[in-house]
């Protein structure tokens, strides 16, 4: 990382993954930036209110300013307005966690959710994180709506998820990922069994209007002991129905009113998709 802007964004992204905060030396080592430069950038971020220091000479952590900006954007984008009622209804029908992720460039980010489980085991992850495309149900659903070359490009750029970091059944080769993409494409929605998180199964469908590029993905996820293959297959028609309803309602959001419908421009550059 050489540019000031690139370094600053790198610090913010790193701190977003560590809610407990990080010391200056750790930040410098992780990002391969001189400690003196990290100290100056952290000072600017603290002054502007994006980062705070837990104590003098202590760890640094994000403030709520970025969170506030993100929530404000979602509020003004209209995404939650049209999506939340549909997520709530599907969560009630399924009795499990339902999430919406949106496509933005080469990223698939979870932005809204509804919890259908009222008792017993519940799966309730944090919002705002990006899906690991190679092993998440959401990622496979999005990849299934792209060409094989486009899907492999995205997975290669992001990297495969290891079984130590993700689930015990996470695909470990591009060939394994592509096989799951083909199964998803044939079925119309993805089904994953402990690929993203141990003890978790999930199913996802792309949110798209006709043959247009997907604008997002809708997902149902639950514990393996309860969210079985039989249960997921039984919910398949409902999932596809709600994905279609979500796509039809998306026109009310300024975020989705002018899709670009572009594919990756080439293997070596960052791909651009419809948002």
Residue 209 lies in a domain: yes
Residue 68 lies in a domain: no
Same domain? 228 vs 193: yes
Q: How confident is the model at residue 120 (pLDDT cuts 50, 70, 90)?
A: low
Cβ atoms of 75 and 253 closer than 8 Å: no
Cα separation values, 29 from 6, 38, 52, Å: 16, 10, 20
Measure CA 29 to chain center: 26
Residue 265 lies in a domain: no
Measure CA 39 to chain center: 31
Same domain? 80 vs 201: yes
Residue 75 pLDDT > 80: no
Residue 153 lies in a domain: yes
Residue 1 pLDDT > 80: no
Give the model's pLDDT for residue 125: 57
Find the Cα–Cα–Cα–Cα dihedral 38, 41, 45, 51, rounded to 10°: 0
What are the tens digits of pLDDT across the range 157-205? 988 888 888 999 999 999 999 999 999 999 999 999 999 999 999 999 9
Same domain? 217 vs 84: yes
What are the tens digits of pLDDT across the range 40-68? 999 999 999 989 888 776 789 888 888 77
Same domain? 213 vs 174: yes
Same domain? 77 vs 59: no
Give the domain CATH number at 20: 1.10.10.10
Residue 270 lies in a domain: no
Residue 264 lies in a domain: no
Same domain? 101 vs 232: yes
- Alpha-carbon distance of 236 to 219, in angstroms, equals 11
How many domains, the chain? Answer: 2
**Residue 172, domain extent:** 73-256
Give the model's pLDDT for residue 111: 85
Give the model's pLDDT for residue 16: 83
Residue 272 lies in a domain: no
Give the domain CATH number at 114: 3.30.450.40
Same domain? 219 vs 104: yes
Full-model pTM = 0.74
Same domain? 190 vs 212: yes
Strand order in the sheet with 200-207: 107-115, 97-104, 216-223, 200-207, 190-193
What the block records as the tokens of 251 is 């026109």
Same domain? 55 vs 164: no
Strand, helix or coil for residue 133: coil
Strand, helix or coil for residue 90: helix
Residue 130 lies in a domain: yes
Same domain? 55 vs 83: no
Same domain? 38 vs 148: no
Give the model's pLDDT for residue 129: 76
Same domain? 50 vs 141: no
């Amino acid at each position: 990382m050489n540019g000031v802007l690139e370094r600053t964004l790198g610090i913010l992204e790193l701190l977003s993954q560590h809610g407990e905060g990080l010391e200056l030396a750790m930040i410098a080592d992780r990002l391969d930036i001189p400690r003196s430069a990290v100290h100056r950038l952290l000072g600017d971020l603290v002054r502007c209110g994006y980062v705070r220091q837990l104590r003098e000479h202590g760890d640094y952590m994000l403030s709520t300013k970025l969170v506030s900006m993100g929530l404000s954007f979602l509020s003004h984008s209209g995404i939650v307005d049209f999506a939340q009622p549909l997520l709530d209804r599907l969560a009630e029908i399924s009795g499990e966690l339902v999430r919406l992720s949106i496509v933005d460039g080469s990223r698939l980010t979870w932005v809204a959710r509804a919890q259908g489980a009222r008792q017993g085991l519940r799966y309730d992850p944090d919002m705002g994180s990006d899906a690991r495309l190679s092993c998440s149900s959401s990622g496979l659903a999005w990849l299934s709506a792209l060409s094989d070359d486009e899907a492999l490009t995205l997975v290669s750029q992001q990297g495969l998820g290891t079984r130590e970091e993700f689930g015990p059944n996470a695909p470990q080769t591009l060939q394994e990922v592509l096989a799951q993409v083909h199964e998803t494409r044939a079925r119309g929605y993805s089904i994953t069994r402990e690929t993203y998180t141990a003890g978790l199964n999930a199913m996802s469908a792309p949110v798209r209007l006709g043959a247009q590029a997907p604008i997002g993905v809708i997902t149902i996820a639950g514990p393996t002991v309860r969210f079985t293959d039989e249960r997921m297959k039984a919910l398949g028609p409902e999932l596809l129905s709600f994905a279609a309803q979500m796509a039809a309602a998306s026109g009310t959001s300024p975020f989705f009113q002018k899709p670009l419908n572009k594919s990756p421009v080439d293997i070596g550059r960052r791909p651009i998709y419809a948002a």
